Structure formats: structure tokens, C-alpha cells
Structure 1
Amino acid sequence: MRAPLPEAFLRLPIAHRAYHDAEAKRPENSLPAIRAAIRAGYGIEIDLQPSADGQAMVFHDEMLDRLTYDTGPVAARSAAELQRIRVRASAEPIPTFRQVLAEVAGQVPLLVEIKDQSGAFGPTNGVLEAATAAALQGYDGPVALMSFNPHSVAHVQRLLPQVPRGLTTYAFPAEDFPPGLPPEMEARRQALAAIEDYDRVGASFISHHWRDLSRPRVADLKAQGAAVLCWTIRSPEEEAQARRIAQNVTFEHYAAAQP
């Protein structure tokens, strides 16, 4: 089963990590940034990391250090502990996925990236995917799930076959991996770069790095009916270039033009 991406994901520009602006006290993936995106009428992209007790938290990094005044791994703290940690530049704490869903409440499309928990795009224990699925029970707004890790998307396929799912993709260059990869890991890197798992996980879209949109595999997937989103656009000029191929953009640091 391949759930199609709703039209709203191709029409409304998608605010990367929500419509964030630290100077305006709405840091990335925060509730103030979520609210700002809704007011502006943008779609929203967010990231999920797990708490120690298996809850889905809306946070990009594995570590707390960059985005909060605390330190250490997100996954070492319970959801209750994380809810007491304030996000930098905001008076509000790290939100749970359930809180964000309640805030969005179907008003705009929500694109959710499940962060890789394996460290190497390998098999995961499915805890974060299960927490994501549990939070989404009963949610009837436009939502789509994606990950750089195809194993994560395979979990989503099993847990939420009715929800559109996709792969977050780019060139996966060798320099982004440790030197001297064993042959099986090098083969996996090449498979990721070739987006070989698209059909296996029943994806209906990709979100591809905008500078790599000319890759022939992107054109092949688009010709086969895949929706093509892209990341991360940071100016109107980049947006104009990306839209020659991509059907929509994920943007930050400027106000993308509305349709």
C-alpha cells in the first residue's frame, strides 16, 4: 500500500523546523515557531527524537547542548524531565509530539522527520516509530512521515500503512561517512544514494537536498509518480532554482511566497 501525499504538501511552502526565528523568540521546533507557521499559513516540518521512556519529543539534535541550556543526550531523559528543559530563546520547554499535534490540529500540513536512531542508517528498535504511531492515533489532519533511514520508514509502513511516508534523501557522499568503510557499509551507502529502498518501504515522496535535484534518479522517481519535495531553501533565488524540479520547498530564514 502506497498512501499518496495530500495536495496541501505540494501547495503550501513548508517551514523547516517550523517558522523559526531565534531573535523573535521562536526557536526551531518550538511551540512558538509552530504557532507562527500556522498564523502565516505555512506547512510545518518538524523532527522527532525519543525520550528515555519512549515518548516522541519534537527536537532535532541527539544532544541537548546546542538548543537548550542543559547538556547530554535527549534519549537519556524522561519526557517529564525534558518538559522541564527550556528551549533557548523561548520561555517554553521541549514539546512532545502530542502537544504539537494538539497545537496544529489539522490547520496546516505537518511533515514529520523521524531522526535516525541507529547512527548509521541501519536497523532500529522501532521505539520512536511506535511512539510516533501512538501519538497519531485519532489525528485527522494532513500529516506525512519521513526519515533518512529506510528501516525507520519500514516500521512506519507496518504501523501506519494509511499515512503517507517518504524518504529524506541526498547524495550520501563518501566524505559524510567514516573512512575505510567495510564493503557492506559502502554498498549500503551507495544504495542510500541511489534511493533503492523507495519501493520496498512503499514511499510516495522524497524530500531531497535541493542542490542535488538534478540527479537522474530524482527524475526517474518523479516520472513514476513520486512527489518531490526538497530541503533546505534559504532564499527566494534558491527557491526559484529548486522549483524547476521540486514540487515544493522546505524553507527557513526568509518568508517563502504563498501560492
Structure 2
Amino acid sequence: MRLIAHRGFRSAYPENTLKAVEAAAAVADEVEIDVRRCGSGELVVIHDETIDRVSDGHGPVAEHTLAELEALDVLGTGAGVPTLEEALRAIPSYVGVNIELKERGTGGDALELIDAHHPQAIVSSFSRDVLADCREIDPTVPRAYLTDDAAAEGIEIAIDLDCEYFHPSMERCTGRVVADAHRAGMSVTAWSIDSSDEAETLAQAGVDGVIADRPDVLTGSMA
């Protein structure tokens, strides 16, 4: 079962920072990061629409330039919000990357950066429009549909989008859901996991991977 570092193992490291990405890449099969566009146009790695929760600044990401975001102190690291390019450069080529696109209109630039810096990356999103855009721009880059809705409906959406991966929430992920997704030719990764008990339950359901908040959720028997 694959271990994917949620925001760079957000319970262990300052989420979506280069520090987290580098630490997570040392132990995870894949690193998951969130991507938005900032006010000056670059793609940056941050989960929320605003910078308030994770930094000493205030306001929407989209209203701050890259220079302003780089000048912030994110989660006490003394470093600012990284760009997607910086994050991709920090992750070794043998470690996978899951780029969750939070907004429409980011697919083209994200796919260009993937091609240039990390061809093992995949794109994921809760948005059907985002994934459809990515498929149109470059269908060779694998896509994952994220959902916390009814799994049966989610599988149909993922099939319609030609997704290679189905990423349901842990609460929606049952053995039947996994089997249905596998029959459709998709790999299943559940999110977000914070304990070995949760990982064990999902392993019994047959998932292919877990998006985890901690690096120690997989025991030797499940890894």
C-alpha cells in the first residue's frame, strides 16, 4: 500500500512548506501538495484561499504577489509560501508527486511545470472542470478525482473524466467502493489518515494507497 504525504505530512511538519516536502520525500512514496495562483500570476503551494491560518499575514492568496507571499513566516518556519516550481525541484525524481489543483485556470501552468520538472507527478482535484481542463490540455498526465460525496456517484464522475485514480474520503471508502473502482480500472487512494488503525481498516478494504497526515501510519505488514 502506497504512502502519500498529505501536505507533506501536515501533522508532523509545517504543511505545504519546502521543509515539509523535503522531509516527507525521505520516507513517503508520494508527496501531496495544494496549488493556487497568487496575485502576480505564479502557482504557489498553499491549501487555504487565504494566508491567515498558516502565516503572519492576512487576506486572500489571490490578492498577494509572489514577493509578498515569500516574505511571510509560514507556520513558524521563517520561510514564505513556496512556488510549485520550487516544490517540484525539492522532490527527488523517484518520489511521486500529487498536485491538488484548488482552482480552475491553473491546469495549463501546472502541467507545463510537471513536464519540465517532475514527469512522475499526477494532478488531482475535487473539481470536475479542473480535471476536464487538464485532460484537454495534456491527457498523458494522470488525473485523480477527489470526493467526499457518495462514492458510487464519484466513481461515475471519475470514469467520465477518464481518471486513472479515485480518491474518496476515508469515510466513503469501503471494500465495495474499492472493488467497483478497480473494476473500472482505477487505483484507489483514501484520505486523510492519521492513525495506523485507520490505515489497517483501509488496507483490509483493499485500497492501493493512503493520503496520510503522519509518516508512521503504516506498519511493516501493510507497507
> Under a length normalisation based on structure 2, what TM-score does the superposition of the two structures give?
0.89
On the 8 A contact 2:152/2:177 being kept in 1, the answer is: no
Aligned length: 219
Q: Which residue of 2 aligns with 1:18?
A: 8
On the 8 A contact 1:169/1:193 being kept in 2, the answer is: no
Distance in 1, matches of 2:175 and 2:154, equals 9
Unpaired stretches in structure 1, ≥5 consecutive residues: 1-10, 118-123, 173-190
Matches within 5 A, 1:176-191: none
Quote how far apart the aligned CAs of 1:38 are.
1.8
Unpaired stretches in structure 2, ≥5 consecutive residues: none
Among residues 91, 94, 101, which one is paired with 1:104 in the alignment?
91
Quote how far apart the aligned CAs of 1:216 are.
5.0
Distance in 2, matches of 1:192 and 1:48, equals 27
Distance in 2, matches of 1:251 and 1:201, equals 25
| Counterpart residue identity of residue 247, structure 1 | D
Quote how far apart the aligned CAs of 1:77 are.
1.1
Distance in 2, matches of 1:29 and 1:59, equals 6
Among residues 202, 205, 211, which one is paired with 2:162 in the alignment?
202
Distance in 1, matches of 2:24 and 2:133, equals 29
- Map Cα deviations across residues 101-145 of structure 1 (whole Å, 9 max, x no partner): 111131311111111x3xxxxxx4x2x112212322323442111
Q: Which residue of 1 aligns with 2:124?
A: 146
> Under a length normalisation based on structure 1, what TM-score does the superposition of the two structures give?
0.77
Q: Does 1:253 align with 2:214?
A: yes
Paired residue secondary structure (1:239): helix
Report the CA distance shift for 1:192/1:92 in structure 2 as closer, same or farther (over 3 A): farther
Paired residue secondary structure (2:116): coil
Which structure: larger Rg? 1
Distance in 1, matches of 2:20 and 2:211, equals 15
Matches within 5 A, 1:1-259: 11-21=1-11, 26-115=13-102, 117=103, 124=104, 126=105, 128-171=106-149, 193-214=153-174, 218-245=178-205, 246-253=207-214, 255-257=216-218, 259=223
Paired residue secondary structure (1:111): strand
Aligned CA RMSD, in angstroms, stands at 2.2
Distance in 2, matches of 1:76 and 1:14, equals 31
Paired residue secondary structure (2:157): coil
Paired residue secondary structure (1:81): helix
